């Protein structure tokens, strides 16, 4: 067996847990040991059971969270399989002392609210993953018969209220299409039962600025520059084409399999793993009407993928259906992290073509926004013959079929965010009028001549691939101290900006 130790992180006692890698064919891929070289049985068993219950990336992410939890259990002397009442007290202590969160009990609800502070070492999204990992641990272990109590991450009061609500619900057995059920099945499913609840001041909404015409055009310019560049590899170009033309998430594209792409001979569409599908390829993406997508894929399959195939297969038809479609240069499965590394390496060269910074996930929002614009135009928007019922009907079908959203109300947020576009358009016109006025800018000695200001459009010169944009970072003293401590731990020399300026760098 091969022993591996995870890298040490600031404020993270999970480094006390060591990993022993099993041999091929062993029952356990990894065995986890504490600081006294004793096997952490529940973590080792959970890792084995979780292998068949979702994608490998989810298991690795949850593992990173659970290592911190088990290290804290060892320090506090609490057993992982204790009664829910005892575990909940330990969980609150874990969030309060280790994650530096405020804990606010909800009276009469048998729940506590988690509130981030400035000292919390994790982001809000990472805290959500932490809660999901803890809940998953006890769900898996209880299903396997290894935990004898109810899930401590679920509130007994809220579970009882949800059951009573479902029992009293009018026409509870009717489908949503019947229109007689007291609430939709999605609303029933989303009724909260969690013991730990994270404070959420407001739900997610698309950023309006990124939906305006100039930003949308700028995003297309950046993507087109990447697709036309010779320094971007054929693999990243194929992924970009799929993201731009299908509106899929990056992990859905990166984790595509050969069988999902071949899709039993259905050209122009592929099966991918949707969010929350537990590793099953249940979502269909469509790209038949954009021939550039298939051309980019063929270039990758013929020129690049055979060089990295671990089996030496030259043709895609010879590859196993469950093999990854995209490969790294080492022949390992492609991942979103690999794509992001290449993305930000090239993005800086062309970011000036767009008035705002954006990420690959914004291509998904761009896809939805521009589809709704075209759909409104097709339904007669701006004319007396606008068919509002047809628009709503086809908009809902788009959300279900193309985007595979579980909630029919998700697309409402995109439509609501577009209501402010007229406000920004009027503001842009007003600011353009101000730009036509003449103002003296600078010192009196360098006053501008008294003549009307003429605004000319700058020539759009495509940046060279090796051209880097200057990035100025402004932090408060607390953040600078944190960066200094992190760099010192990593063994990197710390020096202030002033010292660099003294040397003329």
At 364-374, the pLDDT tens digits run 999 999 999 99
Fold of 208-363: hpI Integrase; Chain A (1.10.443)
Distance, in Å, from the CA atom of 361 to the CA atom of 244, rounded to the nearest integer, reads 10
How much is the pLDDT for 447? 43
pLDDT at position 148 is 93
Give residue 210's pLDDT.
Answer: 87
Delimit the CATH 1.10.443.10 region(s) of the chain: 208-363
By CB neighbour count within 10 A (0-12 exposed, 13-18 middle, 19+ buried), where does 322 fall? exposed
DSSP bridge pairs for 20: 3, 31
For residue 194, give the nearest of 251, 127, 263, 243 by alpha carbon.
Answer: 127
How far, CA to CA in Å, does 260 sit from each of 255, 284, 334? 10, 9, 15
Of residues 138 and 416, the one with the higher pLDDT is 138
Q: Which residue has the higher pLDDT, 94 or 2?
A: 94
Q: What is the pLDDT of residues 23-32, one digit of tens each?
A: 888 888 899 9
pLDDT above 90 (res 291) = yes
**What pLDDT sits at residue 407?**
79
pLDDT-based confidence at residue 440 (cuts at 50, 70, 90): low
Average pLDDT of the chain? 81
C-alpha 402, offset from chain centre: 19
pLDDT value at residue 417: 54
Q: What SS3 state is found at 314?
A: coil
* Residue 265 banded pLDDT, cuts 50, 70, 90: confident
Any idea which of 97-111, 448-462, 481-495 has the lowest mean pLDDT? 448-462
Q: Is-contact 57 251, C-beta < 8 A?
A: yes
Amino acid 442: pLDDT? 52
Residue 141 has pLDDT above 60, yes or no: yes
Tokens 């063994």 belong to which residue? 491
Strands 269-273 and 281-286, by their bridges, are antiparallel
- Note the pTM of the prediction, 2 decimals: 0.61
């Amino acid at each position: 067996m091969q022993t591996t130790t995870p890298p040490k992180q600031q404020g993270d006692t999970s480094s006390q847990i060591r990993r022993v890698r099993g041999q091929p064919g062993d029952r356990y891929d990894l065995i986890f040991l504490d600081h006294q070289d004793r096997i952490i049985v529940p973590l080792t068993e959970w890792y084995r059971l979780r292998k068949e219950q979702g994608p490998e990336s989810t298991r690795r992410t949850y593992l990173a969270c659970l290592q911190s939890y088990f290290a804290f259990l060892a320090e506090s002397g609490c057993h992982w399989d204790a009664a829910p009442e005892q575990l909940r007290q330990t969980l609150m202590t874990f969030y309060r002392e280790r994650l530096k969160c405020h804990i606010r009990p909800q009276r009469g609800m048998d729940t506590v609210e988690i509130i981030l502070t400035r000292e919390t070492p994790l982001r809000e999204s990472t805290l959500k993953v932490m809660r999901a990992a803890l809940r998953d641990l006890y769900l898996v272990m209880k299903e396997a018969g290894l935990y004898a109590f109810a899930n401590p991450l679920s509130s007994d009061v809220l579970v009882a209220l949800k059951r009573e609500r479902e029992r009293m619900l009018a026409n509870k057995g009717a489908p949503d299409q019947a229109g007689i059920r007291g609430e939709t099945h999605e609303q029933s499913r989303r009724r909260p039962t969690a013991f730990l609840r994270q404070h959420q001041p407001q739900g997610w909404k698309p950023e309006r600025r990124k939906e305006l015409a100039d930003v949308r055009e700028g995003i297309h310019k950046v993507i087109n520059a990447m697709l036309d560049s010779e320094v971007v590899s054929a693999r990243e170009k194929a992924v970009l084409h799929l993201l731009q033309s299908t509106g899929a998430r990056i992990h859905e594209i990166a984790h595509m399999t050969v069988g999902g792409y071949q899709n039993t001979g259905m050209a122009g569409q592929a099966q991918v793993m949707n969010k929350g599908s537990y590793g099953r390829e249940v979502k269909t993406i469509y790209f038949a009407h954009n021939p550039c997508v298939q051309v980019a894929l063929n270039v990758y399959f013929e020129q690049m993928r055979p060089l990295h195939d671990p089996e030496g297969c030259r043709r895609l038809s010879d590859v196993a259906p469950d093999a990854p479609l995209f490969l790294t240069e080492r022949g390992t499965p492609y991942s979103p992290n690999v794509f992001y590394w290449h993305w930000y390496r090239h993005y800086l060269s062309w970011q000036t073509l767009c008035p705002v910074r954006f990420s690959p996930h914004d291509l998904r929002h761009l896809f939805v926004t521009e589809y709704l614009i075209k759909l409104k135009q097709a339904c007669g928007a701006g004319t007396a013959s606008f068919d509002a019922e047809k628009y709503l009907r086809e908009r809902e079908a788009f959300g279900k079929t193309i985007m595979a959203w579980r909630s029919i109300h998700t697309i409402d947020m995109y439509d609501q965010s577009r209501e402010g576009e007229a406000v920004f358009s009027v503001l842009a016109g007003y600011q353009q009028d101000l730009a036509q006025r003449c103002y003296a800018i600078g010192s009196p000695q360098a006053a501008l001549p008294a003549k009307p200001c003429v605004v000319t459009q700058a020539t759009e010169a495509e940046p060279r691939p090796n051209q880097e944009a200057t990035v100025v970072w402004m932090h408060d003293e607390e953040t600078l101290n944190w960066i200094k401590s992190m760099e010192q731990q990593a063994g990197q020399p710390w020096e202030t900006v002033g010292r660099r300026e003294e040397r003329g760098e």
